[in-house]
Structure 1
Amino acid sequence: MENFEKTCRLCLNIISDTSFKIIQGIIIEVLDVLLLKLSTNKNKSVICNGCSIKLFVAFNFKATCMDTEDCIFPYINSEMGAPIDLKEIYLKERGKEHFRNILEDERICRLCMQVVTCGFTWVREVDVDMFLKYTPEVNFNSTKEPVICNICFDLLNTHTSFLKNCLDVNEKITSMCEDKAAESPSCIKCEDVEIKSEGNDDDRTPLDKTGWNDFGFHGSNQIPTPNIDALGYNGVILDKFYTQQTCTPSRAALLTGNYPIRSGLQGIPLQAGENRYVPLNMTVLPERLQELGYRTHLVGKWHLGHAYEKVTPVGRGFDTHFGYWSGFIGYFDYTLGAQLADGVTTYFGYDLHYNLTAQYQFKGQYSTELFSNKSLEIIDNHDEKEPLFLMVSHLAAHTGRGTELGVPNITKTNETYDYIELEERRRYADIVNIMDDTVGQIVNKLAEKDMLQNSIILFFSDNGPMTTGSVPNHGSSWPFRGLKFTLFEGGVRGSAVLYSPLLEKRGYINRELIHISDWLPTLYHAAGGNVSELGDIDGINQWDVISKNLTTTRTEILLNIDEFENQSAILGYEGQYKLVNGTYQDGLYDQYYGDSGRGSENPSYDTQQIINSLANQAIQTISNQSPLTSDVILNMRSLLDVSWCRDANSTPNFVCSGFCLFDIYSDPCETTNVVNDTKYENILQNLQAKLSEFYEQLVPQTNKAVDPNSDPSKSNDTWWNWLGTEP
């Protein structure tokens, strides 16, 4: 391999590999915006990856400051010359109803125009040189008593220091060059360079109970997910997407557009052999899309009932279903067990069906690959003249039967992920990576069929992982608190990306509040339906919020009420404050779990693997699609990293046996319970009142024991519709 050794133009560090960027094109534009006018010569200079990331993060923060300035400018009266009240502008620009007015002692940050929740600094107390060097365009005199929140102040200090160092280096280079020391390493000579990168042929993939930290775009280097990452970087990454705490409640919310408390499915996941299902008077998403003329197909998991034929997927709006009715099965044998109420007897049965017919011939095939192949067949056989709704719900990365973490080749798995200490985590990594590969195959197939240009591709996790517990999959929601079953961020803050050429804005991070129940009205609207015909549901049409990056009308999310566990939570004030009341099984999963994936033992993040991925290559065939570059990838990734929210060794240990209140904006890791702080008294009371309202609307859980009549031995050792056709 060619020996690269260059000097970074911004920090003067030696670059000994190909990890650099040539200063040209967009980098020059970014330097100009940041007022870094560098001395140049006829040769192209380069910057190291570290400076590149800092440069783009500084650029994005300045863009936020300038957006605020643009927002304020129309309200400035140049003739009167009087400073304006930023609170009034904030309320007008938000354009939505609030639970309360901004408190008298609260302030709006002059740089990000958000309500200050984490302390602030008066602008008058800040060194004016800092503003002149970084944001000379901001007119602080235009607003009354301007303040800067602590987060923005820290960012301002960090970026100003970085820019000062860059300018000091530039001055040093200029001085040395004027002294005719042009051959010194400090007087940089950069020849034109062709950066040669070889694409990886990587046949690995994963999604059910996948952790926040198990996708590359969230900052971990442990598990490659190039295809899913490519969808997000080319489309939209949803930073504040929330699900339910477990499988059945999430799927009920997804398909009904309602909180699970409306259907009595808010509690524990449904068991095989249990007579429980989505109420038949609730019209579900595939039924809605059938009304619009869509062909509807489900591949993989259902988990919303199978006692009657009518409550299975083909009875609830899917033209076809290839997969399993229950919560999880073996990765190769497609069987699972369910324990009866006596706590002793367990039924075991086979659960792989096409519509209502068992599919024994596939036993022994790896489920992720099988489900992918069936999905590709559906696309191949689809008549492009008809609209298509295809829902692929993988077993990955749930545990299989028992505690199985099934992979096709354990020797290859251990060799590929030898940098991961725990074998179970190595297995999990391979499961996720193989699933990622199937995502690329599906996107590529849509492109081959000339269907991609009119498609919406949505990928999301249904709840947090089980790093530990009775059925651990060893996923990671680091740095968040909690796991699946809890209402902390680690249990309900989901990973989600959406790609479509139909989006008006692409290649950005959406930070608006979105709930899993919103997908029904959002997709129904995108499919051409009239959302007003859906009736009174909890879900909100978020298409324009995502497509145009507009402000959402959603101000709260009921995360859940489980009256059996005495556990509930609500997220209010545009997602800033979360009230948790009670906990799952006395705080069993209330702490911090999972790998950070950021240690030196892990491989570096391979942007070229993302660029070369099947998904990205297919997306780049779209005529108006912008090319995906390493700079874009690294910049977006740096903005998504929430590792700042707590030190790696900071794991405050407490259990929310009563009320806990968290400021998610400043404390997404939920390290500090502020419920007893009088400053938040009004917020606490408002959220308690909201939670009480939802309690009054709750439909009691319909949980039942496994029905002895469901015994699979009565049906060729196969789970079946033991109660007949319909209720």
Structure 2
Amino acid sequence: MTIDKLIRYGLQHGGITTAQPSCLPSDEVTIAQALQDVGYSTHAVGKWHLGFYKEECLPTNRGFETFYGTYCSSGDHFTYMRNYIIPNNGTLSGIDLHNHTRLSFEPAWDGIGHYSPELLTGEAQNVIRRHATSEKPLFLYLPYLAVHGPIQVPKRYKEPYKDIISDEKRLTLAGMMNCLDEGVGNVTDTLKETGLYDNTIIIFSTDNGGAAQQAGNNWPLRGIKKTFFEGGVRGVGFIHSPLLPDPNKGTTSHAWMHVTDWFQTILSGLVGGDINMTKPIDGIDVWKAITSNSSSPRRELLHGIDPISYLEPLLTGRAALRMGDWKLILGDLCRLYFYCDWFPPKESNITSTKPTEPRNKEIWLFNIARDPLERNDLATRRPGIVKRMMERLKAYNATAVPPWYPPPDPNSNPKYNGGVWGPWE
């Protein structure tokens, strides 16, 4: 596998923060733009989180005909108030809920007060119903805000679990998942009601592991969201469709896949359209592997290279690479924090969850096929593999554009925009 410039967004340090003058580079082709080129009607409902400091960054200028949802990474699930602290500038506060067409960028005032999974489900159903008589195929991108923090849910969704889960945060998270599950079911029912279901493929996927601070749990995997341990990067999902081959329905695929593979898999594997890209495609088409229970064509996976400390100024950067069964992790990630621990559920009565490695450790090597829980570090015993993977990481890093992580801009303050988060340049 040759190395093209795979780290080319400049976003390797972390997600775009609320007040940053940054967004997905305008010369990148989104999946919505690519699908529009082959005749699809494209709509987005939910979380954008790709930057919004200029109008050209907004979803309806990046391939979506309509957008209903939030620009930012998190906010209150009822009020849609998003607070952001800028050191020495105080707290910026504003509403983050929007209703877009290509010609209009309006706050969605009528949605405030409605619980986000229910609100977004309803908007997704509206998109489907409006589209039902169209001759175009439909691409609906539905990134729910749940179960992302803050952990909030109406009481009725917690009721089924109140006698099973004693921890209040876990109970609330279970309620959020209950509401999300209901929403996916309601969207599916609407596809059936409109006659679109029989020709639809539903893809459901997570984007990262659970955050232990917000009641998430990845047990028995090691680590949490924002780490390169399996608890942070291993995701699950499903594909549901009447179009799937009958022998594959209800089966589990263990084909190796990276999130970037969805782009190529959808466009090549499902749509079969020609892709006019301005830059190389990172992903691989794994559709046949998923639907035939065969092995994945992917043999290598770059989890990331972040030369800036993600956690604390005293710490070095971090990186992780998977090659076949081997996974290399670099970075002084355990010295001051609990990001290297395991987090068993409270009801398990398991107490020994701390790593045995020293807290100042900077190199780990695991055989993930044999040790998916990452309990047996082999770095000192397999120096040859460490060296080979280090060289591979260096080759990747040599192609990278510098991280683009500008400081927050006080001009983003919603008070300059009627109390609403929106473009400010």
TM over 0.5: yes
Question: Which one of the candidate residues 181, 205, 212 is aligned to 1:460?
Answer: 205
Task: Give the drift of 1:551.
Answer: 2.3
Letter in 2 for 1:719: W
Contact 1:467–1:594 (Cα < 8 Å) also in 2 = no
Letter in 2 for 1:518: D
Equivalent in the alignment of 2:415:
713
Task: Give the drift of 1:351.
Answer: 0.5
Equivalent in the alignment of 1:515:
258
Equivalent in the alignment of 1:546:
290
Equivalent in the alignment of 2:25:
279
Rounded to whole Å, the distance in 1 between the matches of 2:378 and 2:165 is 37
Contact 2:36–2:63 (Cα < 8 Å) also in 1 = yes
Rounded to whole Å, the distance in 1 between the matches of 2:286 and 2:347 is 32
Task: Give the drift of 1:506.
Answer: 2.5
Task: Give the drift of 1:258.
Answer: 8.7
Cα separation, partners in 2 of 1:534 and 1:707, compared to 1, 3 Å: closer
Letter in 1 for 2:355: P
Task: Give the drift of 1:275.
Answer: 0.8
Equivalent in the alignment of 2:391:
689
Contact 1:579–1:659 (Cα < 8 Å) also in 2 = yes
Equivalent in the alignment of 1:396:
146
The answer to whether 1:416 aligns with 2:118 is no
Equivalent in the alignment of 1:380:
129
Rounded to whole Å, the distance in 1 between the matches of 2:241 and 2:278 is 24
The 5 A counterparts of 1:439-450 are: 439-450=184-195
Rounded to whole Å, the distance in 1 between the matches of 2:187 and 2:347 is 28
Letter in 2 for 1:711: N
Letter in 2 for 1:419: I
Task: Give the drift of 1:546.
Answer: 1.1
Rounded to whole Å, the distance in 1 between the matches of 2:212 and 2:27 is 37
Match of 1:560, SS? strand
Task: Give the drift of 1:530.
Answer: 2.8
Task: Give the drift of 1:585.
Answer: 7.2
Rounded to whole Å, the distance in 2 between the matches of 1:657 and 1:583 is 6
Match of 1:262, SS? coil
Task: Give the drift of 1:503.
Answer: 2.6
The answer to whether 1:348 aligns with 2:93 is yes
Task: Give the drift of 1:702.
Answer: 1.0
Question: Which one of the candidate residues 182, 196, 209 is aligned to 1:451?
Answer: 196
Contact 2:83–2:94 (Cα < 8 Å) also in 1 = yes
Task: Give the drift of 1:421.
Answer: 1.8
Rounded to whole Å, the distance in 1 between the matches of 2:360 and 2:70 is 36
Letter in 1 for 2:318: Q
The answer to whether 1:301 aligns with 2:81 is no
Rounded to whole Å, the distance in 1 between the matches of 2:95 and 2:20 is 15
Task: Give the drift of 1:667.
Answer: 0.8
Letter in 2 for 1:277: C
Cα separation, partners in 2 of 1:596 and 1:391, compared to 1, 3 Å: farther
Letter in 2 for 1:427: T
The 5 A counterparts of 1:289-688 are: 289-342=35-88, 345-355=90-100, 356-382=105-131, 383-400=133-150, 405-409=151-155, 413=158, 416-468=161-213, 473-504=214-245, 505-525=248-268, 526-530=270-274, 536-565=280-309, 566-573=317-324, 576-584=325-333, 586=335, 588=337, 589-595=339-345, 649=352, 651-654=354-357, 655=359, 657-677=361-381, 680-688=382-390
Contact 1:503–1:548 (Cα < 8 Å) also in 2 = no
Q: Number of aligned residue pairs: give it.
A: 407
Equivalent in the alignment of 1:246:
none
Letter in 1 for 2:293: N
Rounded to whole Å, the distance in 2 between the matches of 1:458 and 1:587 is 38
Match of 1:494, SS? coil
Task: Give the drift of 1:656.
Answer: 6.8
Equivalent in the alignment of 2:8:
262
Rounded to whole Å, the distance in 2 between the matches of 1:583 and 1:377 is 48
Contact 1:273–1:719 (Cα < 8 Å) also in 2 = no
Q: Cα deviations across residues 324-363 of structure 1 (Å, max 9, x unaligned)?
A: 0000111100011112242x51100000001121011221
Rounded to whole Å, the distance in 2 between the matches of 1:592 and 1:517 is 27
Q: Cα deviations across residues 525-557 of structure 1 (Å, max 9, x unaligned)?
A: 111213586752220011111122232221010
Q: Which has the larger radius of gyration?
A: 1
Gaps of 5+ in 1: 1-96, 99-256, 600-646
Letter in 2 for 1:672: N
Rounded to whole Å, the distance in 2 between the matches of 1:596 and 1:552 is 36
Rounded to whole Å, the distance in 2 between the matches of 1:569 and 1:687 is 9
Q: Cα deviations across residues 175-207 of structure 1 (Å, max 9, x unaligned)?
A: xxxxxxxxxxxxxxxxxxxxxxxxxxxxxxxxx
Task: Give the drift of 1:596.
Answer: 7.6
The 5 A counterparts of 1:120-131 are: none
| RMSD after superposition | 2.3
Cα separation, partners in 2 of 1:499 and 1:486, compared to 1, 3 Å: same
Gaps of 5+ in 2: 310-316
Contact 2:289–2:295 (Cα < 8 Å) also in 1 = yes
Cα separation, partners in 2 of 1:450 and 1:425, compared to 1, 3 Å: same
Equivalent in the alignment of 1:154:
none
Task: Give the drift of 1:466.
Answer: 1.2
Contact 1:485–1:584 (Cα < 8 Å) also in 2 = no
Q: Cα deviations across residues 152-179 of structure 1 (Å, max 9, x unaligned)?
A: xxxxxxxxxxxxxxxxxxxxxxxxxxxx
Q: Cα deviations across residues 433-453 of structure 1 (Å, max 9, x unaligned)?
A: 110111111112112222122
Rounded to whole Å, the distance in 2 between the matches of 1:676 and 1:357 is 57
TM-score, normalising length: structure 2: 0.90
Task: Give the drift of 1:415.
Answer: 6.5
Contact 1:297–1:389 (Cα < 8 Å) also in 2 = yes
Letter in 1 for 2:239: L
Contact 1:297–1:390 (Cα < 8 Å) also in 2 = yes
Letter in 1 for 2:122: N
Q: Cα deviations across residues 114-155 of structure 1 (Å, max 9, x unaligned)?
A: xxxxxxxxxxxxxxxxxxxxxxxxxxxxxxxxxxxxxxxxxx
Task: Give the drift of 1:490.
Answer: 0.5
Task: Give the drift of 1:653.
Answer: 3.8
Letter in 2 for 1:676: T
Rounded to whole Å, the distance in 2 between the matches of 1:714 and 1:681 is 56
Q: Among the aligned pairs, what percent are the same residue?
A: 31
Match of 1:293, SS? coil
Letter in 2 for 1:418: D
Rounded to whole Å, the distance in 2 between the matches of 1:534 and 1:546 is 28
Contact 1:531–1:541 (Cα < 8 Å) also in 2 = no
TM-score, normalising length: structure 1: 0.54
Contact 1:298–1:318 (Cα < 8 Å) also in 2 = yes
Contact 1:323–1:352 (Cα < 8 Å) also in 2 = yes
Task: Give the drift of 1:693.
Answer: 0.7
Match of 1:389, SS? strand
Cα separation, partners in 2 of 1:379 and 1:719, compared to 1, 3 Å: same
Structure 1 window deviating more from structure 2 (496-505 vs 511-520): it is: 496-505
Q: Cα deviations across residues 274-333 of structure 1 (Å, max 9, x unaligned)?
A: 111111111111000010111111111000000011101111001111000000111100
Match of 1:675, SS? coil
